[in-house]
Chains A and B, each alone.
Chain A
Amino acid sequence: MANTDNLEDKKLLCVGLICLDVIHVCNSYPFEGTDQRIKKMTWQKGGNAANTSAVLGLLGNKVDFLGVFPKDTKDLFQKSACSFVRQEMERCGVGLEQMSLVGDSDLPYSSVVINDETGSRTILHCPGLLREVSFNFFQKLDLSAYSWIHFEGRNTEEVVKMICHVVKYNEGQDEANRVKMSVELEKPHRRNLPLLLPHADLVLISQEYARDSGYNNAPDTVKAFKDHVKSRCKTTRYNTLCLIDLHTLLNINVRFWYNTAI
């Protein structure tokens, strides 16, 4: 990567979800209708983007998290949960100044059952009154503060606009000051996630997403995606072609509003 000295002054950013994970560590997976003791129960901050930013913080990077966070909640559980996850993020060294504070929203939470026999995790997620980060909020960011922005694979329609905004910003920058972008394709039911691909510098595909797209192993998945993920597509027409290509390849319901969002 070019000019890392310059990049050292800049921060990383993760855009996505923050939530509370209520973790239950069980000796074995519970049976319905039984009353049983478990090994351990704990609270943990969760959400893909929040977790990634926390680990980046623990590894000593300057990192900010951008997600929706409840504002002035009166509910005692919500208040306690918000205070806990905020402290956890700060403990990991993550900057929270960029969070979008929204009234009339809930902190989502998940009950996570860990089976101690296998290490597997089963998640029961409660989104509550979940709000997503809006493009209008994102576009107020000072992009010059960041060297790399990661977008969690969710809220696709708004995130596509955010990516286009960064692409336009990058067009006026020299190579060293360009903001790199990464995206994550994780949840198969989010059918329009491939719209995040054309401008990404780094794409991560989950096993679950790959299987749902018809691949049975990691190398086949990467082979298929790497030939069809085009970075730095400049023209609208080219982007459309990329997406048609992906549509054919991955049998994904491509929506053409992306074309107009450029």
Chain B
Amino acid sequence: MTAYVICAWGEAGAASGVAGVFDDVILTPANSPEDVVDTVCAGDTFLAGIRHSLIHGKCLNSAVKFACRIASEKVGSYGYDCLQSFHYEVEVE
């Protein structure tokens, strides 16, 4: 696995790229919840989404999409209990 670099920028989405490779940086749009109610733990949830996807063999692009989706679910609800009912399977392209 080559080194991945990811930067999440709230509502502007998340950029990702592969270190040492000249490929373009991909910008993945953020999934906006109807109402932003609680951003505590949003970044940690995003990171967990990335690792969860990569460990299940997903590509970087799919991992970032999944992370944006789960982070959006998180900021749309108080606390993190909402994630228990989140679709556990990694999103299929």
* Residues of A that sit less than 8 Å from B by CB: 1, 4, 7, 12, 21, 23, 25, 40, 42, 44, 46, 48, 51-56, 58-61, 112, 114, 116, 118-121, 147-148, 150, 180, 182, 184, 186, 200-207, 210, 217-219, 221-223, 225-227, 229-231
A-B contact pairs, 23 of them (CB 8 A): A12-B55, A25-B78, A48-B43, A51-B45, A55-B45, A55-B49, A59-B83, A114-B37, A114-B38, A114-B40, A121-B39, A150-B51, A182-B51, A201-B4, A202-B54, A203-B6, A205-B7, A217-B9, A217-B12, A218-B14, A222-B16, A229-B19, A231-B3
Q: A48-B43, A52-B44, A207-B10 are in contact. Are A119 and B5 (CB under 8 A)?
A: no
> Is A42 a contact of B19 with CB atoms below 8 Å?
no
Q: How far is the CB of B37 from chain A (nearest CB, A)?
A: 5
Q: Name the interface size band of chain B.
A: 35 or more
Contact A55 B80 (CB under 8 A): yes
Closest beta carbon of chain B to A17's beta carbon, Å? 11
Tell me whether A231 and B19 are in contact in the complex, defined as CB-CB below 8 angstroms, given that A52-B47, A112-B40 are known contacts: yes
If over half of B's interface residues share one DSSP class (helix, strand or loop), that class is named, otherwise mixed; here it is mixed
Cα A230 to Cα B27 in complex, Å, equals: 22
Q: Quick check: B27 and A218 within 8 Å, CB to CB?
A: yes
In the A-B complex, the 8 residue pairs with the closest CB atoms: A119-B36, A51-B44, A55-B48, A231-B3, A218-B15, A218-B9, A226-B17, A222-B15
Q: Which of B15-46 contact A (CB under 8 A)?
A: 15-21, 25, 27, 35-41, 43-46
